[in-house]
Amino acid sequence: MELVNDKFSIQGVVLEDLAAEYGTPLYVYDAAKIKSQFDRLNSAFSTVDMKVKFACKSLTNLSILKLLKSYGSELDCVSIQEVRMGLKAGFSPEQILYTPNCVSFAEIQEAVKIGVMINLDNISILEQFGNEYHDSVPVCIRLNPHIMAGGNKKISTGHADSKFGISIYQMAHILKVVSTYNLNVVGLHMHTGSDILDAEVFLRAAEILFDAAKNFTNLDFIDFGSGFKVAYKEGDITTDIEEVGQKLSAAFNEFCEAYGRKLQMWFEPGKFLVSESGVFLTKTNVVKTTPATVFAGVDSGMNHLIRPMMYDAYHEIVNVSNTSGTKRVYTVVGYICETDTFGLDRKLSEVKEGDILAFKNAGAYSFSMASNYNSRLRPAEVLIYEGKAHLIRKREEFEDLLKNQVELDI
């Protein structure tokens, strides 16, 4: 998203024109930004055999999945429905990692039938898996390294009280299960959380994984999850992916030499690949003044973008209809019957009713977390690909709210 001749645009496509053509609210994604992030990640880890497994929970649109596949990405899924979505997008089962949490064993059995790589994070499920499959199906084990990392506790998954992963302190129990059922463990996995800034966090977790890996002789890969932080505002501190790549690659190569053979390094980026590619366009319905606050109320709410309410996430907001106007302070809110505040006390170019406001960093965990709360319709999605706008999801209609309801004759 860049400002040219007082107009915000993506690849030369003016955002106001997109709002006029497709209506609002509207999600817009920049394919070129996704490609540049994908290339940057590959470049940072060029000295190791690295695979990118896109965390598709962040953005599951089929066209986005196909786009990433065309760039060389593979897929990380957390539900059997995401696995099916990946297959629909053209990924082979061998390209898909399935990391369930608290699902039924029947779902895991279905994933085995499909042929994807299974990543288990519960000793009970590991025992059920061993009893069913023994060494006939390769498996990955997700470990909890007990490292508190991430910008918000709700996105920190490697701490001691997390529901994710098997505690590293339960390694003796893990090895007993592996031995008892003759499990074929081919991978180890960890994910400490999101918005990690410091390369040292990855290195500390890596040392824990390397030490654990000494207990397994048939490993093919070690999966370091993700958690790279992107910029949310001007001057924001971000993960130095080049530094992480240099330091972690060196440590990984040293480990592989000691292990006796080269392994693959896997990552599961979601936000890093697609967050900055996304812009969410809304129309200002009302400008409301109270004794203390001026509200800009838009035609969307927590039903379309819940991250600010759920994670206290920051999304920079700009008035694309008035790029050079006098700056005034507004609190930007939604139209849902809840306190759905997108941005508190933001300096925006003067906002008038009908103006289009754009929320940056709306590519990850935005549309994918949308709902029909208040019986509102989910928005359309557009991908800017090679300088042209492509509709990749139609806006819902009222009939979509009714199609699965069974109406009683009362």
Distance CA(137)–CA(125), nearest Å, equals 14
Q: Which of 214, 187, 200 is nearest to 251 (CA)?
A: 200
CB-count exposure of residue 358 (10 Å: 0-12, 13-18, 19+): buried
| 94, amino acid identity | E
Tell me: is residue 165 an annotated ligand-binding position.
no
| Distance (Å, whole) CA 226 – CA 54 | 10
> Which residues are within 8 A (CB) of 252 and not within 5 positions of it... i.e. 6 or more apart?
48, 206, 222, 263, 265
Instruction: Find out whether 307 is annotated in a ligand binding site.
Output: yes
**CA-based nearest residue to 340, from 378, 376, 310, 365:** 310
> Can you read off the two tokens belonging to residue 8?
């915000």
What is the layout of strands, in order, in the sheet containing 2-4?
2-4, 7-10, 13-14
* CA gap 408, 405 in Å, rounded: 9
- What distance lies between CA 221 and its chain's CA centroid? 22
Which of 56, 140, 256, 337 is catalytic? The answer is: 337
Q: Which of 40, 49, 93 is nearest to 223 (CA)?
A: 49
- The dihedral sign for the CA sequence 176, 177, 183, 184: negative
Separation CA 241–CA 199 (nearest Å): 8
Check whether 311 is labelled as a binding-site residue.
yes
- Tell whether 365 is in a known binding site: yes
User: 309-312 contacts: CB < 8 A, separation 24 or more?
Assistant: 309/338, 309/339, 309/340, 309/341, 310/154, 310/369, 311/152, 311/154, 311/155, 312/152
Residue 117 near residue 140, CB atoms below 8 Å:
yes
Are 321 and 64 a contacting pair, CB within 8 Å? no
335 is in an annotated binding site: no
**Catalytic residue flag (residue 256):** no
Angle at 345 between CA 342 and CA 346, to 5 degrees: 75
Of 211, 201, 184, give the one whose Cα is nearest residue 112: 184
Strand 50-55, strand 26-30: pairing: unpaired
Task: Point out the annotated binding site for pyridoxal 5'-phosphate.
Answer: 227, 365
Hey, which residues are catalytic here? 337
Task: Point out the annotated binding site.
Answer: 227, 307, 311, 338, 365
Task: Point out the annotated binding site for substrate.
Answer: 307, 311, 338, 365
